[in-house]
């Protein structure tokens, strides 16, 4: 209204939700004093002010929405629910770098620490200076160009139910309905309360996971004789002659969860190579076989569950992948003859996840993958439940690959060094 040639973009998770934002903006404009109202035209998804040549547009939050647009302000509503939020952020931020503004709005829907909005909240909150306003609004800010975090607690809304004070609403309507942890999440009074509940339900030690980030590094641009398979293979340390390695693969059907492979150094317990990608089981087996051979015939196995596991195992057998580990009884650890691949029952999964939890807490291994650490952070264990991904859209392929490869570590074969003498 007051700046010529402005372009405002409203993003929401879908077209209908984005158009609802336009309706709210149009309603607010209609309630202004007559002398402030401008003539406007447009449609459900657009408001145009001819007097200033400025526009407000609504768009669904896709990965490329807003890319290349000269934008003044971008508002992303209920950002936690946007499936392509991170990709959308990459697309629109360059359009704002010359002086535009981004406003992200959302509640925290669940305990997913890897969610794009949640990660932006954490980044803005940590190391910030707190400012409390008389209204109850709380602001967190750092440097001049850093994001500013604004938190609005549930009590800022003066009336929740006609005839009840806020205290009465809390005691009579909320306390009987929710558990204490649900109340902290759905009706947080402070941001510390909201963020604390996420850490309290995390299955893995958050401080240990943060410490693991010091080892993050970018994968090598060249595999040094290790095929990269169109970027699915991430090599952090190439194989060294004379060194021994071991690896595990969680296969995929190529549709839902991606496959994930981890190869480790047998003495340093450092993740030297990881693989992630949505490929069919037979292609995944070929990648696994290739890495086994590249890493000095690494001691190896895979998850044999379901159709994907069976197809993976069949391909491994046809490829004659060397140095396969035997299947073992989950309780005794004894070898099950003539069986390859590990069959993951519920009891076995509990065991390997508990083993991974201990290994993270006691810093028993190193991963260089940022994505792996973020997936570790996405695993929660609410009271009375088993560990699971915080988000319904989340994956645990990297978690299970690491949990199993650390179990495989227990059964590494002890190779006796060979000594040879030569006559000069």
pLDDT, position 415: 57
Whether 112 shows a pLDDT value over 80: the answer reads no
Closest CA to 282 of 232, 318, 231, 326: 318
Global confidence as pTM: 0.70
Q: What average pLDDT does range 103-119 have in this prediction?
A: 84
Whether 281 shows a pLDDT value over 90: the answer reads yes
Q: How many CA atoms lie within 13 A of 380 on its CB side?
A: 19
Q: Using the structure block, give the residue that is written with the tokens 């547009």.
A: 57
Quick: pLDDT tens for 360-419: 999 999 999 999 998 998 898 887 888 988 777 778 999 999 999 999 999 998 754 454
Greater model confidence, 417 or 328: 328
- E strand spans, 218-342: 233-235, 245-250, 259-265, 271-277, 299-302, 326-328, 335-340
Out of 91-100, 214-223, 279-288, 400-409, least confident range: 91-100
- In this prediction, residue 67 has a pLDDT band, given cuts at 50, 70 and 90, of low
Quick: pLDDT tens for 229-243: 999 999 999 999 999
Catalogue all structural domains in the chain, each as residue range(s) with its CATH number: 7-201 (3.40.50), 206-411 (3.30.420.240)
pLDDT, position 88: 81
Quick: pLDDT tens for 346-362: 888 999 999 999 999 99
Most confident of 10-24, 103-117, 134-148, 409-423: 134-148
- In this prediction, residue 84 has a pLDDT band, given cuts at 50, 70 and 90, of confident
Tell me the C-alpha distance between 229 and 118, whole Å.
Answer: 32
In the chain, % of residues over pLDDT 70: 94
- In this prediction, residue 197 has a pLDDT band, given cuts at 50, 70 and 90, of low
Which residue blocks in 52-164 are alpha helix, DSSP H? 85-96, 116-125
**Who contacts 214 (Cβ-Cβ below 8 Å, separation ≥6)?**
none
Whether 424 shows a pLDDT value over 60: the answer reads no
In the chain, % of residues over pLDDT 90: 48
- In this prediction, residue 53 has a pLDDT band, given cuts at 50, 70 and 90, of very high
């Amino acid at each position: 209204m007051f700046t010529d040639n402005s372009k405002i973009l409203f993003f929401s998770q879908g077209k209908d939700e984005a158009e609802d934002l336009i309706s709210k903006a149009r309603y607010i404009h209609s309630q202004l004093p007559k002398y402030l109202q401008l003539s406007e035209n447009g449609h459900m998804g657009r408001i145009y002010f001819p007097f200033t040549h400025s526009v407000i547009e609504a768009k669904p939050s896709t990965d490329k929405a807003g890319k290349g647009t000269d934008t003044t302000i971008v508002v992303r509503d209920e950002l936690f629910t946007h499936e392509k939020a991170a990709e959308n952020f990459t697309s629109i931020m360059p359009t704002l770098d010359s002086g535009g503004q981004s406003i992200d709005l959302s509640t925290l829907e669940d305990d997913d620490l890897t969610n794009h909005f949640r990660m932006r909240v954490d980044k803005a909150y940590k190391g910030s200076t707190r400012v409390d306003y008389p209204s109850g609004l709380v602001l967190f800010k750092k440097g001049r160009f850093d994001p500013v975090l604004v938190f609005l607690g549930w009590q800022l809304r003066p009336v929740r139910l006609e005839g009840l004070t806020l205290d009465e609403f809390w005691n009579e309507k909320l306390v009987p309905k929710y558990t204490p942890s649900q109340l902290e999440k759905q009706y947080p009074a402070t941001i510390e309360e909201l963020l604390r509940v996420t850490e309290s339900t995390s299955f893995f030690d958050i401080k240990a996971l943060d410490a693991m980030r010091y080892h993050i590094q970018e994968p090598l641009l060249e595999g040094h004789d290790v095929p990269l398979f169109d970027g699915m293979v991430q090599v952090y340390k190439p194989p060294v002659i004379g060194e021994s390695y071991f690896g595990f693969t969680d296969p995929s059907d190529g549709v839902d969860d991606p496959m994930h492979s981890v190869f480790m150094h047998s003495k340093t317990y450092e993740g030297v190579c990881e693989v992630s990608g949505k490929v069919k089981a037979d292609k995944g087996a070929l990648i696994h076989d290739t890495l086994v051979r590249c890493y000095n015939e690494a001691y190896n196995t895979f998850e044999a569950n379901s159709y994907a596991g069976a197809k993976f195992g069949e391909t491994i057998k046809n490829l004659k992948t060397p140095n396969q580990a035997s299947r073992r009884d989950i309780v005794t650890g004894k070898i099950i003859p003539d069986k390859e691949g590990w069959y993951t029952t519920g009891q076995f999964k509990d065991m390997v996840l508990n083993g991974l939890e201990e290994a993270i807490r006691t810093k028993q291994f190193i991963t260089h993958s940022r994505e792996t650490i973020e997936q570790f952070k996405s695993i929660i264990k609410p009271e009375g439940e088993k560990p699971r991904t915080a988000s319904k859209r989340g994956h645990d392929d990297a978690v299970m690959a690491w949990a199993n490869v650390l179990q495989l570590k227990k059964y590494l074969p002890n190779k006796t060094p060979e000594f040879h003498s030569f006559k000069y």
